[in-house]
Structure 1
Amino acid sequence: MQTLDHLDALPAGALSSPAAQRNAAFILDVLRTHLPARGRVLEIAAGSGDHALAFASALSGLDWTPSDPSPQARDSLSAWRRAGPSNLRPPLSVDAADPATWPQDRFDVVYCANMTHISPWSATEGLMDLAGRVLRRPGGLLVLYGPYREAEVPLAASNAAFDESLKARNSAWGLRDRAAVEALARSHGLPATRRAPMPSNNLTLLFRSV
């Protein structure tokens, strides 16, 4: 599963994604409102680590554990951790599509940004299964961020072009229908609780374990 996209090398082995830098502050506004003051967060497909560093730094009461199946991503996450806060934990090798890699621990939050469209649908299926297993019940929180198709909202031209470019790169990729994602989450005991519009035609979606 690919999780790194358009990265620029930085000193000390860290990588940075310009897109992740641009959207971090907007996502953080949602996280501040809905995440617990204290607890454990598992980030899936953490990529370069920009979000892990930003959110762990801003949310000091949360233990933030990033994960990624890519060794390159984990090297970057480790580099950010060396320069980051103490609540940013060592990265795990977790592939949402491979249950053999899933952690056995319990978490209060599972966070995943920009994975569902740059991976096969089986990765989203695995993500929901994983979240259903590792989130505390009731009240565990799954947070997704990215672009989605919505039956009731016309698809923005920029998202339509992005969808076409994804499918040209890999026929198994592409923007997912929000209704399909929500139905899948609900089947794993994670009903949708919030749809938060974000800049650049993205969404933050929240699901609570029951």
Structure 2
Amino acid sequence: MDSITTLPDGAASSPAAGRNVEPILSVLKAHLPARGRVLEIAAGSGEHALAFARALPDLEWTPSDPSDEARSSIDAWRRAAGPDNLNTPLALNAADPATWPDGPFHAVVCINMVHISPWTSTEGLMRGAAQVLVPGGLLYLYGPYRETDAPLAPSNADFDRNLKARNPEWGLRALEDVSQLARDHGLHLTLRIEMPANNLSLLFRKT
């Protein structure tokens, strides 16, 4: 887990966001609709939201995070350099249905949350995404996962141990468990894309 640098204006900078923004953006450009509304869950520092909203000007991008500190960073980036299509961040906790906004949204994007949160957050993510997405809408997940038919990369095994040492409720999830949970909510895995540093992009569609 990378260290976060807080800039004088309150915006936070994450080295991980800088490394993965372009690979993720290339996938989003290929699979997001040309126009519509996107809800980002656990937007963290807000650097992804800023970059994606800039690169996809015809999409209305709404970031969210349960952390006051994260939302302050997101809003600092938005006020300093955000385009008109980047909205004020929402205080959304994936596990709390009462904090989810009304839809419809054409896509829900969630980057690096599933392994750094309790399983209840992933359950809430699937439930909430199913409620707010339009039929055929996209749920995009990014991060490391365990797969039964593929050995776990040593770096991911070390990362998993580190996460569990920080919080026993954290850790890399089994892809089959995440996919089954998604199916239980009418979201079906349609594409798995290998990404740099042993991460995956997972694309689910609402039936």
Q: TM-score range by the shorter chain?
A: over 0.9
How many residue pairs match? The answer is 206
Q: Give the alignment partner of residue 126 of structure 2, picking from 125, 128, 133.
A: 128
Describe how 1:40-51 pairs up with structure 2 within 5 A.
Answer: 40-51=37-48
Partner of 2:84: 86
In structure 2, the residue matched to 1:19 is 16
Distance 2:4 2:60 in 1: 26
Mapped partners of 1:116, 1:165: distance in 2: 15
Shift of 1:6: 2.4
Counterpart for residue 117 of structure 1? 115
- 2: CA distance, partners of 1:126 / 1:16: 27
Structure 2 segments unaligned to the other structure (5+ residues):
none
Contact 2:67–2:91 (Cα < 8 Å) also in 1: yes
Q: Which range is displaced more, 10-19 or 89-98?
A: 10-19
Residues 25-73 of structure 1 show CA distances to partners (whole Å, capped at 9, x for unaligned) of 0000100100001000000000000110110010111000000000001
Answer whether contact 2:40 2:108 (CA < 8 A) is retained.
yes
Conservation of the 8 A alpha-carbon contact between 2:2 and 2:15: no
Per-residue deviation, 1:11: 3.3
- Residue aligning to 1:178: 175
Map of 1:6 onto structure 2 = 3
The amino acid across from 2:179 in the alignment is E
Q: Which amino acid aligns with 1:167?
A: K
Amino acid at match of 1:200: A
Task: Name 2:53's counterpart in structure 1.
Answer: 56
Deviation beyond 6 Å, 4+ runs, structure 1: none
Contact 2:2–2:16 (8 Å) recurs in 1: no
TM-score for the superposition, normalised by structure 1:
0.96
Paired letter, 2:16: A
Give the % identical residues: 65
1:5 deviates by 6.3
